[in-house]
Each structure stands twice: as C-alpha cells, then as structure tokens.
Amino acid sequence: MKVLISNTSDIPLYQQIKDQIKDAILTGDLAEGDSLPSIRNFANDLKVSVLTVRRVYDELEEEGFITSRAGIGTFVSAGNLELLRDSKRRLVEQKMQDMIQTAKSLNISKEELNEMMDILYEED
C-alpha cells in the first residue's frame, strides 16, 4: 500500500491519509481481511502524530471501511459493498469530470472525446 502525504498541500494530513487508504481499498490493493498497521507504527512511519492516524482509523471505521478488534488489530472489512461500489463509481465520475474540464479548456469536442475514449478503452 502506498501512502504519500504532502506537508504543503491544502488538504489536511488526515484527509490525505484517509483518501489514500480508501483508494487502496477501492482499487483492491487492500483486500478484505488485510490488516492495517498499528496506530503507533503507522504514525511513526508516516511521520505524523498518533492523533491524526487515530482520527483516520476512527473515521474509516465509522464509514464502514475497516474494523478494529481490541488486542488483535485493525482490518479491512467487507462492510458496505454498496458503499464501496458507490465510491468506486464516484471515483470514476470524478476522473471523468477532470477529463471533461481539461478537454473543454483545450476546445476538444464531445465527439472527439468519445473517439479518444473508444480507442483507449480497447487498448488495455
């Protein structure tokens, strides 16, 4: 799992970490049942405060992405598949938004965009 955080970004540290963990879960990098590092170790490695990591874990647990069992550890949970699927959809939508915005600023038409999409989709 890759978690790279920027100290100079406008996004709060905990948000960055949370988003990246969510991404990892959504892209399958982190599978159901995988364990997450302990709060202290994670904080040390990322060079952030334990309170930040604690908040990330608390919020991810509330949102159904992970579960923690006292004495054992923190694990990725199946939780809300719907939620995950929704989030995945939203991820794609977000990227499409970015793509559309860039296209518009470069004066690429919807037809051209669709053409490009067809070509690239077949490529993979």
Residue found by looking up tokens 């499409």 in the block: 96
Strand partners, 35: 75
Instruction: By CB under 8 A, tell whether 49 contacts another protein.
Output: yes
**Residue 24 vs 43, nearer CB to another protein:** 43
- Answer for which of 14, 42, 57, 65 binds another protein (CB under 8 A) is 14
The one-letter code for the residue type at 122 is E
Least CB distance to another protein at residue 10 (A): 9
How far is the CA of 43 from the CAs of 3, 50, 58, 59, in angstroms? Answer: 12, 5, 14, 16
- Answer for which of 24, 30, 52, 65 binds another protein (CB under 8 A) is 52
**Residue 51 vs 96, nearer CB to another protein:** 51
Contacts of 86 (CB under 8 A, 6+ apart): none
Q: What residue ranges in 56-98 does DSSP mark as E strands?
A: 66-69, 73-76
Least CB distance to another protein at residue 35 (A): 17
Instruction: By CB under 8 A, tell whether 13 contacts another protein.
Output: yes
- Interacting residue ranges for another protein, rule: CB under 8 A: 7-8, 12-14, 39-40, 43-44, 47-52, 54
